[in-house]
Amino acid sequence: MSDTIAPLPADDSDIRRMSFEEALSALERIVSDLERGDVALEHSIRIYERGEKLKSHCDRLLSAAEDKVEKIKLSRGGKAIDVEPLDPA
């Protein structure tokens, strides 16, 4: 087993506070650890489950960002002139 595997938090509640970039970076580390193949089975299962939660979090943040971009009103010249608030989900 490798010494470079980062310890995991006791639970996944930290994911909700992560920015898109932080969550994506954590997900990339998990993928790298799993691809190396030197992670114990139980730890592999745990980090895979965390990876699924990170992916879902990234998907939600990306979707919210896309919604914001779609709400930007452009002038005829292509400049942003107004932004509508997002509809509550």
Q: Where are the domains of the chain?
A: 17-83
pLDDT beyond 60 at 86: no
Q: What's the sign of the alpha-carbon dihedral 37, 40, 41, 44?
A: negative
Residue of higher predicted confidence among 45 and 9? 45
pLDDT category of residue 48 using cuts at 50, 70 and 90: very high
What is the pLDDT of the chain when averaged over all its residues?
84
Structure token digits, residue 71: 């709400």
Please give the pLDDT value at position 3: 46
Instruction: Quote the CA–CA distance of 32 and 82 in Å, as a whole number.
Output: 42
How does pLDDT run across 11-47, given as a tens digit for each residue?
899 999 999 999 999 999 999 999 998 889 999 999 9
